[in-house]
Amino acid sequence: MTRLSFKNLGSLSAGSLVPSFIPKDHKIGIVHLGIGAFHRSHQAWYTHKLLELQGGDWRIQGISLRSAQVRDTLNPQDGLYTVVVSSSEGKIYHILGSVDNVLVAPENPQAVITALCQKSVHVVTLTITEKGYCLKGNTGELDEDHQSIVHDLKNLDCPKSALGFLVAACQRRMQANMRGFTVISCDNLAGNGAKLKTAITMFADLVDPKLKNWLQSNVTFPSTMVDRIVPASTPEDMADVQSVIGFEDQACVMTEPFSQWVIENKFAGPVPHWEKVGANLVADVGPFEEMKLRLLNATHSTIAYVGSLAGYTTVADAIADKNLRSLIDHMMADELAPTLSMPEGFDTKAYIESLLRRFTNRGLPHKTRQIAMDGSQKIPQRMLPALRHQLMQGGSIDCLTFGIACWIRYCEGVGENGEVYSVDDPMAAEFQTINGAAKGDAETRLEKFLSMKDVFDEKLASNTVLKEKLLFWLKELSEKKVRSILAQHWKV
Ligand code: CS2
């Protein structure tokens, strides 16, 4: 079957929407680090819409920081791919033209630094996941002992980490008297821009204190809140796209109708006018980030751990369980919403309702196991801030602690019916050691989990109210099935 490409853009079947601009007519203005499915259906989506609306030199050069897979699927397609917007009402197939090409960093790190130093590039965006920031625990400080950072500090001409590439590019821009750029983190971290700025500034200072000063006056790091649910595409999705567009598309992505992008208005130079196609520019992203990380991501992770243990494969299946739904309703209303500080007039109830509609979207099977990965990186961002708030206020913590206990139980790698699965997490080896040492004893396991400093800080780890609650749930989980715990505590 012929691959989707510029050559056949004119002969796609009528079931798809093709770009209304000629992609090749627009220069690269953005370099994106970490070109996964989320970027392709979010930032690249907004950029595509903007190119359709008013053109401009804002096409994207994508960088894969690890594997060659995205390059191998996108480059032969001239960067074209399909975004399938799927809901229970049906599917809409959009062919996007905002990505120009993809480079694979480990194959040619120099080419990535050169890409970041193109004169036409004014914006760098990042989706490198929580672990890509190489931060020390939850502090936002650079982990100078991180393997990739140690490597990059010694070999800045061929870095491995996103941070290393950014610092190397800044150094080259400074030496060449070029202007800086705007670096936009699009990952689910609270204060993502500020954290990235701290990490990059610390890194630059270790390289050359002059570079640190240059960064301060030439580069900005706006914080952002990004939101769109993007499950991993399956071979069935690809077959479906092929049957509709009439060509093979190995890079298609599936997503939902909803999308949101809130960006702190703090730019170092020209940036695309994404606000003309639905993004919001604001002075303070903080409340929106908090709202999304807590109401969406904290409940998502809870659904993922509780749901996987209870045998539900997708979010929609899990949330259809009335008792699980009641756990999530309570969590949002009693333990998450009270911790937010939304602007006057913001309708949190309506936001919660829209989230629940999104979770029940049967047109978009989102695997609980996909969300369950990297819990050690996600939990500190999504669940612990609300937990700290509730502990301080003496508020309820039943649902949050049940979610965390299910994560600890999930990290055993063995389901309720003895099925073995792999725990996909950078700390998976530590979990194995803990589980081996605990030999099934809930108290020992909890102590050891709480002493993981990159997840729980000391204050939290020594909080007796928290410890008691977590221990209670872990004991429940060792004696009963998740569905019966849900029925006992959250029955509707
Ligand atoms: C999910 C997120 O996989 C996960 O951890 O919670 O990717 C979620 O789908 C997005 O943040 C939605 O914007």
Domains and CATH numbers, the chain: 6-282 (3.40.50.720), 286-489 (1.10.1040.10)
Q: Tens digits of per-residue pLDDT, 277-323?
A: 999 999 999 999 999 999 999 999 999 999 999 999 999 999 999 99
Q: State mean pLDDT over 73-101.
A: 97
> Whose Cα sits closest to atom 4 in ligand 1?
371
pLDDT-derived band of residue 142, with 50, 70 and 90 as boundaries? very high
Which ligand 1 atom is nearest residue 297's CA? 6
255 has pLDDT over 90:
yes
Share of the chain above pLDDT 70, in %: 100
Q: Is the Cβ–Cβ distance between 411 and 425 less than 8 Å?
A: yes
- Residue 188, SS3 per DSSP: coil
Which of 127, 297, 319, 368 to mutate for ligand 1's pocket (most ligand atoms within 8 Å of CB)?
297
C-alpha of residue 448 to centroid of ligand 1, in Å: 27
pLDDT above 80 for 137: no
CA-nearest of 215, 108, 112 to 165 is 112
Percentages helix, strand, coil for the chain, rounded to the nearest 5? 50, 15, 35
In 3D space, the residue among 447, 451, 448, 419 whose CA is nearest the CA of residue 432 turns out to be 448
Contacts of 357 (CB under 8 A, 6+ apart): none
Measured distance CA(33)–CA(35) in Å, rounded:
6
Residue ID of nearest Cα to ligand 1 atom 8: 229
Measured CA to CA, the distance from residue 253 to residue 81 in angstroms comes to 8
Q: Mutation test of ligand 1: which of 188, 299, 407, 425 has the most ligand atoms closer than 8 Å to its C-beta?
A: 188
Quote the CA–CA distance of 127 and 88 in Å, as a whole number. Answer: 28
pLDDT in tens, 416-452: 999 999 999 999 999 999 999 999 999 999 999 999 9
Question: To 5 degrees, how large is the angle CA 144–CA 148–CA 151?
Answer: 85
Q: Which residue's alpha carbon is at the smallest distance from atom 13 of ligand 1?
A: 227
Interacting residues of 359 by C-beta distance below 8 A, sequence separation 6+: 299, 300, 303, 315, 316, 319, 328
- CA dist., res. 410 & res. 405, Å (int): 8
Determine the pLDDT at residue 138. 62
Cα(36) to ligand 1 centroid in Å equals: 13
Listed in sequence order, the residues at least 6 apart from 105 whose beta carbon sits closer than 8 Å to its beta carbon are 63, 64, 65, 66, 112, 160, 165
Question: Does position 265 have pLDDT exceeding 90, yes or no?
Answer: yes
Nearest CA to ligand 1 atom 1: 371
**Ligand 1 pocket, Cβ-based, cut-off 6 angstroms:** 188, 227-229, 296-297, 300, 370-371, 378
Give the span between the Cα atoms of 296 and 326, in whole angstroms. Answer: 15
Ligand 1 centroid to Cα of residue 177, in Å, is: 39
Question: Which tens digits make up the pLDDT trace of 169-220?
Answer: 999 999 999 999 999 999 999 999 999 999 999 999 999 999 999 999 999 9
Q: Mean pLDDT, to the nearest integer, of 356-368?
A: 96
Tokens of 298: 């904290």
Binned at pLDDT 50, 70 and 90, residue 264 comes out as: very high
Q: Shortest CA distance to 33 belongs to which of 268, 196, 210, 180?
A: 196
Rounded CA Rg of the chain: 23
Distance in Å, CA 226 to ligand 1 centroid: 10
H/E stretch holding 368 reads helix 368-372
Which residues are within 8 A (CB) of 65 and not within 5 positions of it... i.e. 6 or more apart?
33, 34, 105, 106, 128, 132, 160, 161, 162
Q: How many CA atoms lie within 13 A of 424 on its CB side?
A: 7
pTM above 0.85, yes or no: yes
pLDDT, position 267: 98
Residue 34 gets the label, from left (phi > 0), alpha (psi -120 to 50) or beta, of left
Pocket residue to mutate for ligand 1, from 127, 185, 192, 229, most atoms within 8 A of Cβ: 229
Phi, psi dihedrals of residue 12, rounded to the nearest 5°: -70, 150
Q: Which atom of ligand 1 is nearest to the CA of 228?
A: 13
Judge whether 98 and 60 are in contact, CB under 8 Å.
yes
pLDDT digits (tens, 9 = 90+) for 22-49: 999 999 999 999 999 999 999 999 999 9
Q: In the structure, what pLDDT confidence band is assigned to residue 4 with cuts at 50, 70 and 90?
A: very high
The helix/strand/coil state of 143 is coil
Secondary structure element (H or E) that encloses residue 62, with its range: strand 59-64
